[in-house]
Structures are given as structure tokens and as C-alpha cells.
């Protein structure tokens, strides 16, 4: 089959037609030339290029922007269609403690696959049941609507820069459907829009709301060359570059507590001194990367920290890691914003790993990260959903994270069952923490 021309945003019909011509694989025609992660442009807080020219009406790649003044602060939300997005009012921004966006990718699904289109709806249903939505809470919680896709320049992958394609091998764990490309752009766009909203709120609030992107496909395994490990585009990496480029937030601190190593994010910023990537993950789990001696390269040496936890690690291990590793790293780095790859597959009930995190673990993490952002970067913090494949533990843990952001008590005791837990490998945990602290001079 020959496509005479292609758009950065292929239509659903075109993708369906193209997919029908192949067996087991999907190829997305993106554009003839793509940009590498490191080829970013910085824009100051005043909306001007640092060392170049800037048109406030249009970013490269056709991504249009608009601005609104909210209590003296300017919020810029951008989309590929040139239409206004939903922007919370001044009063709502001031009163809000949590802003979230939902991008469930319902067309991106494969039968019996753990990364299914049941995941985000399960979370949304739990939030409604537990009365953690704007309908019940009013302006305390804001849901962003009318999310527009990220642009191709936003995703900034370098896969097949000469051929202009993205290839997904349908026979492996990273599947694709006719809607995957578009829905992956929407997921990335949701993260970008939340960055816009949180940054705007931080200009008028001493305690701005935390952002949470309830999105899929997940992103932290997607490498600059293409999709990998259930992930299509690196949602957190895209948001990090966007925060630098559009909002002038030079120093970005990324925390990844998914049970699997975020190799894609790791690789994207491995030589970048302005983005600190910190990953906790189960030792020996997919994809086999994330060793303690992977610390960055060149100018970026020291701004990558990997802490592989032994199987069986749980709440005690993670609390210790946060206090002895995450906090001092963040304090020393002095970030302008904190982004979080929030994977809930470290839960003891999750089928894809063997850590012993509980719903209470995730409540504590959410609460502590929120406070860390308040202490270090004006409260600017956005969470991005990554893994989590037991629908019950996933939905309850995200709901308890919401409670943490709202400053409410945890209800983890109503879900967690201490009887199924066993002793954590405390000696091994202590050893790996001490090794990381030695390597990074903590």
C-alpha cells in the first residue's frame, strides 16, 4: 500500500486502512523530520526566547497558544487545533487542591493484555464511589476537559528521522490499534495541559494544586527511538521539555516509583545536567536496566540516580528511601518543578512484580512528594499514571493519593490486608541504600 501524503496527525480512517494492509505490526507515519530530546528551545518566564526569536501566537510544529490573565498571572494552554481549552477560573484555581485530567485511550486495547482499557475507568469509578470528584467536592478538585493532543514536535522522538515513521511490533508486549497514535498524543497533551495549569496556579497561590494525569498508554519505557514496554510516547519526558521550553522552568526533578525501571526517561536525559531522574524499582525486573552505577554521562553525570530494591521491599523500605535518598537529592538539586512517574504496580497485589507496597505506601509517597514540592519549588508538581495492573489495588491506591493531595486521612486500612505481608529484606535494602548514598555523596 502506498500513502501519497501523510499528516503529523493521521486520521483514524487512514490508520485503519493502513493497519489492514499489514499483519501483526503497525507503522505510524509521523513526519519526514523529527527532533531529538536534547534539541530543545528554552523560553523565559516572560514568554521570550532565550537567545532567539519567539512568536507568542505560534510554537514550532503548528502548536498554537493562547493566554489568559488569572489574577495577574498568565496561563498559556496550547493545542494543535487553535481552539481554546478549558481553563479554571481565578476563584477555582485559588481554592483547588487537586487538578486532574482523564485520557483513558479506550480504543487502545488488546484482549487479555494487562495494560488494558479497563485501567483508567476503574480509577474514575473508584473516585466517583469515594466522592473524590468535582461533582461532590466543588472547586476543591478540578477536572480539565477538552484535552487536545500534543504536537509531533512535542513528542520529539528521533525514531527513523530519515524515514519519518514510528514502528510498533504487534507481536511483542507493546501493541497498537488504529487509535493508538492519536490517543497517545492525547495522553501526552493531558500532561502538558496540567503543567500549564499547575504553573499558572503557582503564580497566584502559595499552595497550588497538585496535577494528576490519569492517562494511558503509559510512557516511561518509551525511548527516544520509539515505543517499548507497553509505552508509546514518553509522557513525563515530554512534559519536562515542555516545562523548560514554554515556562522557563530550567531544573526539572523526576521521581519514578513504578516497579519497573523507567529506562526511557533515564536515556532521554542521561547527559542533561538540568533534569534529575531518580528511579526506584524492583531489582532484576523488566527491562533489566537501572543499576546503581548508572549515574548519567558527560555534563549529566550525577543527575541520574537508580535505586533497585530487592524483591519483598515494602513500606519500611520506601519510607527510608524517601527520607535518606529522595529528599537530600531534591534539596541539593533545587528543582523548579517536580514531575512524578506514578506506577502503582509495586503493590503487593499486583501480578507483574513482587514488591510489598500497600495502598498506605502510596498515600505516604503522595503526601511526602506534595510537601517536597511545596518546600522546594513553589508547590509545582504533576503526577503521571504509569503502571498498575490489579484494578482494585490500582484504583484504591490512586484514590488514596488523591486524599493525600487533599490533606485528608488515609483510608488504606479499609483495603490493605497486613496478614498477606511478610518480613522485608531489611539487610539488603540497607545495603543498596548505603551504596547509592556513597556513589552520590549523600
Report how far Cα 42 is from the mean position of its chain's Cα atoms: 21
**Cβ within 8 Å of residue 371, ≥6 positions away:** none
Ranges of H-type helices in 30-118: 90-95
Rounded alpha-carbon distances, angstroms, from residue 429 to 255, 315, 337: 19, 12, 29
113 is catalytic: no
β-strand pairing of 63-70 with 141-144: unpaired
Element (H, E) at 201: helix 180-202
| Spatial contact of 232 and 183, defined as CB atoms under 8 Å apart | no
Judge residue 48's burial from the number of C-beta atoms within 10 Å of its C-beta, 0-12 exposed, 13-18 middle, 19 or more buried: middle
Q: How many residues appear in the chain?
A: 442
Residue with cell 535505586: 307
Residue with cell 493531595: 405
Give the whole-angstrom CA distance, residue 137 versus residue 153. 37
Residue 299 CB neighbours (<10 A): 11
What lies within 8 Å, CB to CB, of 138 at 6+ separation is: 95
Which secondary structure element, helix H or strand E, spans residue 64, and what is its range?
A: strand 63-70
Q: Which of 182, 220, 221, 347 is catalytic?
A: 221
**How do the residues of the chain divide into helix, strand and coil, expressed in percent and rounded to 5?**
35, 20, 45
Residue 163 neighbours by CB distance under 10 Å: 12
406 alpha-carbon distance from chain centroid: 20
Contact 274, 252 (CB under 8 A): yes
- Could you list the active site residues? 221
Amino acid at each position: 500500500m502506498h500513502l501519497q501524503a501523510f499528516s503529523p496527525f493521521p486520521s483514524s480512517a487512514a490508520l485503519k486502512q493502513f493497519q489492514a494492509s499489514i499483519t501483526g505490526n503497525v507503522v505510524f507515519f509521523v513526519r519526514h523530520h523529527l527532533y531529538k530530546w536534547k534539541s530543545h528551545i528554552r523560553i523565559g518566564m516572560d514568554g521570550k526566547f532565550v537567545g532567539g526569536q519567539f512568536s507568542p501566537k505560534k510554537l514550532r510544529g503548528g502548536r498554537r497558544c493562547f493566554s489568559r490573565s488569572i489574577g495577574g498571572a498568565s496561563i498559556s494552554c496550547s493545542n494543535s487545533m487553535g481552539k481554546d481549552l478549558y481553563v479554571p477560573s481565578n476563584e477555582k484555581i485559588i481554592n483547588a487542591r487537586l487538578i486532574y485530567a482523564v485520557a483513558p485511550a479506550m480504543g487502545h486495547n488488546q484482549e487479555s493484555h494487562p495494560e488494558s482499557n479497563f485501567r483508567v475507568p476503574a480509577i474514575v469509578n473508584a473516585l466517583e464511589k469515594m466522592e473524590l470528584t468535582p461533582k461532590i467536592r466543588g472547586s476543591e478538585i478540578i477536572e480539565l476537559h477538552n484535552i487536545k493532543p500534543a504536537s509531533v514536535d512535542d513528542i520529539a522522538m528521533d525514531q527513523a528521522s530519515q524515514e519519518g515513521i514510528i514502528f510498533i511490533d504487534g507481536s511483542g508486549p507493546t501493541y497498537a490499534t488504529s487509535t493508538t497514535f492519536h490517543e497517545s498524543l492525547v495522553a501526552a497533551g493531558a500532561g502538558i495541559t496540567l503543567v500549564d495549569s499547575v504553573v499558572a496556579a503557582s503564580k497566584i497561590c502559595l499552595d497550588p494544586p497538585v496535577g494528576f494525569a490519569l492517562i494511558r498508554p503509559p510512557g516511561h519505557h518509551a525511548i527516544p527511538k520509539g515505543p517499548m514496554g507497553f509505552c508509546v510516547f514518553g509522557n513525563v519526558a515530554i512534559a519536562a521539555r515542555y516545562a523548560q521550553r514554554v515556562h522557563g522552568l530550567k531544573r526539572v526533578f523526576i521521581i519514578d516509583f513504578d516497579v519497573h525501571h523507567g529506562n526511557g526517561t533515564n536515556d532521554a536525559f542521561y547527559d542533561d545536567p538540568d533534569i534529575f531522574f531518580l528511579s526506584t524499582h524492583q531489582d532484576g525486573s523488566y527491562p533489566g536496566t537501572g543499576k546503581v552505577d548508572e549515574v548519567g554521562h558527560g555534563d549529566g553525570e550525577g543527575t541520574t540516580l537508580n535505586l533497585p530494591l530487592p524483591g519483598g521491599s515494602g513500606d519500611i523500605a520506601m519510607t527510608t528511601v524517601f527520607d535518606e535518598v529522595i529528599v537530600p537529592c531534591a534539596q541539593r538539586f533545587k528543582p523548579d518543578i517536580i514531575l512524578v512517574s506514578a506506577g502503582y504496580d509495586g503493590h503487593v497485589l499486583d501480578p507483574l512484580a513482587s514488591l510489598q507496597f500497600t495502598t498506605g505506601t502510596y498515600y505516604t509517597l503522595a503526601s511526602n512528594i506534595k510537601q517536597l514540592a511545596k518546600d522546594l519549588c513553589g508547590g509545582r508538581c504533576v503526577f503521571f499514571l504509569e503502571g498498575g495492573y490489579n484494578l482494585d489495588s490500582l484504583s484504591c491506591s490512586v484514590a488514596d493519593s488523591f486524599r493525600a493531595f487533599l490533606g485528608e486521612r488515609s483510608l488504606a486500612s479499609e483495603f490493605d490486608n497486613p496478614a498477606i505481608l511478610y518480613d522485608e529484606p531489611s539487610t539488603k535494602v540497607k545495603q543498596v541504600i548505603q551504596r547509592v548514598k556513597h556513589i552520590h555523596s549523600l
